[in-house]
Amino acid sequence: MFGINIWNVFHRTTRRISFLKKSDQLFREQSYKRRISLQILPLDNNNLMALPESIGNLSSLKDLYLRKNQLTALPESIGNLSSLKDLYLRKNQLTALPDSMANLTSLKDLWIEDTPLDSQPKAVLKQLKKKRRSNLYIWY
């Protein structure tokens, strides 16, 4: 569905690499419950054009790597990733960021360079900085 051949998925409890092939299995309702402690999700270089709304169910996710894909938008549910510390969006086709990103209060690093973002992200990022207690580094 997303054009992914292999996903490298790091599972916190086992510290091993799991491979998920050719599906959005990770995001299906019955599947994400088993991966609730997923902390790192590398999806770089997969020609992804969209992410499912259910990605917001990965509440333990700390690092999300989405570099070098074809993403044009992010789902609103991305704002539910309350543990997210690092978000890598470099080299995508994003023209806007969802307002829900202002809820990412654990975010420390946001990499959004080499994207055709318009001026809208400034409002979202300003809101996010107000809600945070520590520094946020934005690579734009």
More confident residue, 34 or 73: 73
Residue 138 banded pLDDT, cuts 50, 70, 90 = confident
Tell me what pLDDT residue 118 has: 73
pLDDT at residue number 120: 64
Q: Give me the mean pLDDT over the 84-88 stretch.
A: 95
Q: Could you tell me the end-to-end alpha-carbon distance of the chain, in angstroms, rounded to an integer?
A: 30
Residue 9 φ then ψ, to 5°: -120, 125
Confidence of residue 23 (pLDDT cuts 50, 70, 90): very low
How buried is 48 (Cβ within 10 angstroms: 0-12 exposed, 13-18 middle, 19+ buried)?
middle
Residue ranges and CATH numbers for the domains of the chain are 45-139 (3.80.10.10)
pLDDT of residue 18: 37
Strands of the 86-88 sheet, one edge to the other: 16-21, 6-11, 38-42, 63-65, 86-88, 109-111, 137-139
Average pLDDT in the 88-95 region?
A: 94
